Structures are given as structure tokens and as C-alpha cells.
Structure 1
């Protein structure tokens, strides 16, 4: 008995539908089971950096909420591009995440001609954790007690300023450009060693995330002479803002967030956004971030995707304005 072509095609179609349904069911079950093993969060900077501190505060609660251990993997180097490229190449299954920041995902496109990753195209930006004002700091015994004294000194001889991240590099160069300060840039792998050399007298000043220098300022080892926030810091109310000092176009926002490799399933990133949003709404979590000078600022998936894109454009333009040559 000969099979009709129509019946054969019908059976083939039914078989394809069954396979598609099985695949969809398997994917749904996998997403429903997420997570069922430890999660790694890549931090592209060394311990003590703002991204590292944010990761440790976040994972105190995120691990128990998800019911699995969370491992923080510090992969510093090359302005955060080593860790970021590692995360970009990871399997898109939700088990490798990255603590993103304005350094690795806003500023780096302006500093490198070729990046080993696309800061927006290679990632799903899950959520913003916080924004971090920056502080222009000098040693406590520095002869430069104000921005005007610092700028005036550079006109007699160039000073040395440190930077330990792409954002602090662009912030320092932007300040020097708008203030007319003559200074030599001294690079470091991350902000903590830059602070160490500032304390040791090897450099003269530094733009640093407030979270990195707060303890040194409270301890009387560093002195803030300008603050990048829109209003003065609650912890350091005697330090004027750059806007107060006449630098109203200094609009750079330092931020930290969480991202996953592109193609990570939507249910996974949606759950991560929900859980982290809940953590960031709890008073004790807010207090921990605020104690370090961070302003908790969670957003939705759509909002954070748009934010990451716009911040990339802003930081790139500021680097161009400051005449920073990409490497």
C-alpha cells in the first residue's frame, strides 16, 4: 500500500511540532529550576573597589534568596576589560553574571580602539545597583587645601594625578581640561593602589569613588576638596560640589550594576531583576550602601538597558572633549 504524499507531510509536520514542544517544555523546566547550582559573579576589579564592595553587599542576601551559593571571582586588569571579556564569553545560562560599572561599560569604549567585548551588545544589563559620587582628594597634609590652590599650583609646575579605573581617568582628564590644570596622569590597575600611592606622596591628587576613600577621609588621612554629587555629601558637608565651584558641566555619573551574557533566557534575567530590586528596597541594604557613599538606584530591565546605552554615549563624549587618545 502506497503512502500518500499528503499523509507523509502531515506526519512530518506533527513530528516537528512534537520536537518543538519538547524543546520548549525542556527550556521552560530549566528556567523554572533556575538556579540549581552555584552562581559566579565576575568582578573586573580588585578587592576593595566599588564594584567588589557592591558585589559583597549584594550577595549576602542574593545567595540565600536564590537558594544557592554565589562565588565572587575577582578578575582585575586592563581597566576591567579582562573580567568583562571573560563574562561576555560565558554560557548564557544565568550561572555567570558580572558586576558592571561605568568604568567597564560606559568609559572603556572611549579609551580603547579595540575592545574584546561590546559593552552593550554582548550583555543583557539586568539592573542598576547604585550610583556613586566621586571625590577629588589630596593627602591630609597636602599644601592644596582647595581646588583653586590645586589649580594654581599646576600653573607653576605640572602635578601628578592618579587614576585607577576608566571612570577616574576620564573624570581626572575632564577636570584638568575644564579647570585649565596642567598635570601628568599616572595609571594604576584599580583605585585602592592609587589611593596607597597618594597616601605615600607619590602622586598629588586623585578622583576616586566616594566608597573607596570614605574610610581614609573619616580616619583623617585624606582630605576631600571637591565632590561630584549634585548636593554636598551628608558625611562630608564641608566639601563643596564642583557645581558650587563653577564647574557646572561636570555631569559624569559613576554607577554599578549587574549584567548577564547576551541570550540569557528572559525568565532568568527577569527573576534576577526582581530579587535584586527587593534586596535594594530593604532598609538594612540601603544603609550599607549609603555608609559607603553609594546611592541605591535600582531600575527595570528596560530602563537599565536604555541607561547603559546613554551612559556609554556621555562618557565617550567627555573623553573626546578632554582629548583622551584611545589606546
Structure 2
């Protein structure tokens, strides 16, 4: 065999061994992950309900990972700024996203020219929690949904507040099923919505229950109904909207951790395993009860189908509500 042929054969063999080694590595957990701090980017203001949940999961995730997981708040554009940062980040597992239904399922139908595609550019590592939204009014406002409907009917211009596409669509669904009219006022955060509801500047608002229930129990606002199909375990005294004037209403929110789409499966598998452990802990169940949320773990192999179904649900909801991309 000539020297040239021998070198060519050796090169091909080495290339084949390298490729095989890369495939084998991709199929196993990388032994060196993580070797440093992980960032969990949250598109919510510090101190809010979603931020509290992010910090709980970040702390437990850090314990299991053996390295700190810190929450970095990047509020704005209904979570789109945070999602864009992670979608464009290096896919090495060190920058993750804490986001809600809106990021994964509804924002694409409500915002024009998004600089990322959540389905294409993000890979959901694990779902974490499920929660409802509350229809809220001022403390001195209507005591029931029926009273709210009568109050709105008697106003020349009723207004409601919401802080993003999910809660706006939730409010529009309420308007449709309850057959009421009110003009949407956009807010950056749920805290802003609750402030103006408490002050009587809004006729009603819809915000996530995690944020609203504590203020309701402090007498700062009044909850009239929850958007979930069933009453919340944390507040069984609050009826569902289906029960009290918006027949057929059913809408839940959910939170998930995701990574850049190209993140190796081995890293995603490891993160998913840690998250499944956290979601299943009794400590987590007890904590979420205080945060007005519930554990929500979708098996990893079922996540794509789950997201597809949720996306279609929100597409139809937004279309039926007559909302157009802005």
C-alpha cells in the first residue's frame, strides 16, 4: 500500500472514530455539566408572583445541579425580551428561560415581526406549574359577576386592565362568554393592573392568581372568579367563572423552563430529570399551594404534542376574540 493511500485510510478511520465519539457523547449525560453558574432569565419584574416561582425552582435546581442557578429579571414586551435573549444564546445549558404560556403558545399571534420563533428557537426542558387567572374588581365594587355585568352595562365607557397577551385574551374570552363590553387598557405588569383596580380606575382586571390572591386577602381588591375549570386548592371559596356567569369558561396558564433549541439532548435530559424531581417533591406541592399554583409535570416525550395543542387552543381563542397582531 502506498504511503498516500495509507494516510488517506488513516484519516478516514480517525474521522469515523471522531464522529462515533461525538454521537456517543451526545447520547450520554456530559459529565462536566454544569461546571459553573447557570442563569435563569425571567421576563417578569422582581418580587411578582412569577418571579417568586422562578426563584423557588432556581434554588432547588441549583441544589441538584451542584452549581448556583441565579434568576435574572428581564421584564418587558410580555416576556419577549427574555425569550429573545435565551433563543439567541449559546446552546450550552448555562442560560435558560423561565416563561409562561404566552411565550410558548400565544405571543406569536399577537405580535408582529418577533425576532425569534419560540417553537423553532426554544426547546422546553420541563413544565413546572399550572395556575389560573382571577377576575378582580375594586374592594367596594360589585360582589358578583352578575352585579359586574349590570354595572358595565350601565356605563358609557367601561375599561379593564391586563398586562400581556395571555391575560388580555383571558379577559376578551370573559367578555365574549359573559356578553359584556369594556375597552382594554394595556399595562406592563400585573402589579400595575392591581394598583389601578384597587384605586377604582379600572372596572375590572384579569391577573394571574399567584399575584392577586395575597392582595385580595389583604382587602386591597376583590376576586369574583377564577378562570380554571375547577376551583383552586389554595382558595376553594372563589368560584369558577363557568359557575358564575361565563358558561363554558376554561383557561389555565402554565410555566416552563426552556433552553436554546440546539442545546444537546444530554444536557436537556439532565435538566429535565432535575426538574421532574423538584416538581414531584412534597415540599414543592406545599410551596405552590401558598403561591396559588399547582405542580405540572408533562413527560418530556409528550411536551411537543402538548405545546402544539396549546398553540392551537390559543390561536383559536385569539382569533375568536378578534385580536390582531400589534
TM-score, length basis structure 1: 0.93
The one-character-per-residue Cα deviations of 1:68-107 (angstroms, maximum 9, x if unpaired) are: 1111111111111111111100111100100121122122
Check conservation: 1:31, 1:265, Cα contact below 8 A.
Answer: no
Per the alignment, residue 38 of structure 1 pairs with: 37
Alpha-carbon distance in structure 1 between the residues aligned to 2:20 and 2:179: 65
- For 1:13 and 1:286, locate their aligned partners in 2 and report how far apart those are by CA, in whole Å: 54
Gapped regions of structure 2 (runs ≥ 5)? none
- Displacement of 1:237: 3.2
Deviations 1:16-39 (A, max 9, x none): 224435655776898211000000
Task: Please give the alpha-carbon distance, in whole angstroms, between the structure 2 residues aligned to 1:150 and 1:282.
Answer: 40
Q: Is the 8 A contact 2:91 2:260 kept in 1?
A: yes
Alpha-carbon distance between aligned partners in 2 of 1:6 and 1:174, rounded to the nearest angstrom: 72
Greater Cα offset, 5-14 or 17-26: 17-26
8 Å CA contact 1:163, 1:186 repeated in 2: yes
SS for the counterpart of 1:100 is strand
Question: Is residue 126 from structure 1 mapped to residue 108 from structure 2 by the alignment?
Answer: no
What's the counterpart of residue 282 of structure 2? Answer: 283
Distance 1:18 1:310, change over 3 A: same
The question of whether the paired residues in 2 share the 8 Å contact of 1:48 and 1:192 is answered with: no
- Residue by residue over 1:178-197, the C-alpha shift from the partner in whole angstroms, topping out at 9 and shown as x without a partner, is 22211111111121121122
Query: In structure 2, what is the equivalent of residue 148 of structure 1?
Result: 146
Paired residues in the alignment total: 325
- The CA distance in 1 between the partners of 2:90 and 2:212, in whole Å, is 36
* Superposition map of 1:238-253 within 5 A: 238-253=237-252
Supply the RMSD in Å over aligned alpha carbons: 2.1
> Displacement of 1:4 after TM fit?
7.0
**Partner residue, 2:207:** 208
Is the CA contact 1:252–1:315 (under 8 Å) kept in the aligned structure 2?
A: no
1:202-256 Cα distance to aligned partner (Å, 9 max, x none): 2121111110011111112211111112222344333221121353432322110
Tell me how far apart the structure 2 counterparts of residues 161 and 48 of structure 1 sit (CA, whole Å).
23
The separation in 1 between residues aligned to 2:29 and 2:308, in whole angstroms, is 30
From the superposition, tell whether residues 119 and 287 of structure 1 become closer, same or farther in structure 2 (CA, over 3 Å).
same
Residues 50-70 of structure 1: CA deviation (Å, up to 9, x unaligned): 431221111221111111111
Are the structure 2 counterparts of residues 30 and 302 from structure 1 closer, same or farther at C-alpha, using a change threshold of 3 Å? closer
- Structure 1 match to 2:51: 52
Q: 1:107 to 1:14 in 2, by over 3 A?
A: same
